[in-house]
């Protein structure tokens, strides 16, 4: 079992949107059967710039295995991860391979989305 804390940030406007988006994020995490969520601490949104707000939530999580842990990282995009337990982790080759492919898939999707946006904006490809 991997125990960690996720610090997740939301930014936007108005403040109510920022606060609600974090609450929805945590509810989605709680809805996953293979991820245990505990000790959730919300901070209210604070104005950081001309009507633009930022808020944080600190979420304790427990994942039964390496793949679930990394799926949570990729799916919920925390700003920071603080590992708490265990001190050492043994990872099977299959697990590392699956996580590696998930990361690669995410990079490819990001690159595709970036290319689509650049084309729509009429921006040339990076050389």
Q: Is the pLDDT of residue 121 over 70?
A: yes
Using a cut of 0.85, tell me whether the model's pTM lies above it.
Answer: no
Q: Which pLDDT band, with edges at 50, 70 and 90, does 126 fall under?
A: low
Separation CA 21–CA 41 (nearest Å): 14
What tens digit of pLDDT does each residue of 21-30 get? Answer: 999 999 999 9
Tokens representing 72 are 């949570």
**Crossing angle (nearest 10°) for helices 93-121 and 66-76:** 10
Q: Is the pLDDT of residue 120 over 90?
A: no
Q: What is the pLDDT of residue 27?
A: 95
Q: Is the pLDDT of residue 50 over 80?
A: yes
Question: Is residue 34 a contact partner of residue 63, using CB atoms and an 8 Å limit?
Answer: yes
What tens digit of pLDDT does each residue of 75-102 get? Answer: 999 999 999 999 999 999 999 999 999 9
Output 38 or 121, whichever has higher pLDDT: 38
Question: Is residue 35 a contact partner of residue 61, using CB atoms and an 8 Å limit?
Answer: yes
How many whole angstroms from its chain centre is CA 19? 16
Q: What is the fold of 2-89?
A: Alpha-Beta Plaits (3.30.70)
Q: Nearest Cα to 76, choosing from 109, 31, 16, 44? A: 31
Domain ranges of the chain: 2-89, 91-127
Residue identified by tokens 């995410």 is: 106
Separation CA 7–CA 79 (nearest Å): 6
């Amino acid at each position: 079992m991997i125990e960690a804390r996720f610090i997740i940030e939301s930014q936007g406007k108005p403040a109510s949107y920022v606060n609600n988006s974090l609450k929805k994020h945590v509810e989605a995490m709680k809805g996953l059967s293979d991820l245990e969520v505990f000790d959730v601490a919300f901070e209210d949104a604070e104005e950081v710039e001309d009507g633009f707000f930022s808020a944080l939530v600190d979420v304790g999580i427990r994942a039964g295995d390496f793949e679930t842990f990394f799926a949570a990282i990729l799916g919920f995009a925390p700003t920071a991860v603080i590992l708490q337990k265990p001190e050492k982790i043994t990872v099977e080759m299959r697990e590392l391979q699956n996580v590696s492919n998930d990361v690669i898939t995410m990079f490819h999707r990001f690159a595709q989305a970036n290319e689509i946006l650049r084309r729509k904006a009429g921006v040339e490809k990076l050389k």
